[in-house]
Amino acid sequence: MKKPDGSAERTEPQRIKAYLDAEVDPPFPDLTEYQGMIWRAFLDVGPSMSGAMSEAPLSWAEVDAYARNSPELSEAWEAETLVRMSQEYLSEKAKGAGALTIEPMERGGF
């Protein structure tokens, strides 16, 4: 939905909105310094990109362009990880639209 100024209106999932409304940080796992670097790279490049009909996972070209200009990413597996994180992000985002969805960290198996 567009705002009067032409910018897109962002809608947050209900659980995230509840944390934002309460001004409380959502629970995140503890990350090592290296994991934090990968997470920051993921957020910098963007968790997804615009597709023809909706959001799409990051493309290899998009991640490659980012990695070539990033002093932190130097290994092929790091780029592969960013692509996989984008795919998983969109998968979990679709699952999260359901009101009865269990949060990923609560599912176990990690």
Mean pLDDT over residues 66-94, rounded? 92
- Do the domain assignments include residue 96? yes
- Do the domain assignments include residue 74? yes
- Do the domain assignments include residue 18? no
**How many domains does the chain fold into?**
1
- Do the domain assignments include residue 65? yes
Q: Over the Cα atoms of the chain, what is R_g?
A: 16
Spell out a b/e string for 9-38, using b for 16 or more CB atoms within 10 Å of the CB, else e.
eeeeeeeeeeeeeeeeeeeeeeeeeeeeeb
- Do the domain assignments include residue 8? no
pLDDT > 60? residue 109: no
- Do the domain assignments include residue 43? yes
- Do the domain assignments include residue 9? no
Range of the domain at 34: 29-100
- Do the domain assignments include residue 78? yes
pLDDT mean across residues, the chain: 83
Per-residue model confidence as pLDDT tens digits over 17-61: 777 788 887 777 889 999 999 999 999 998 999 888 889 999 999
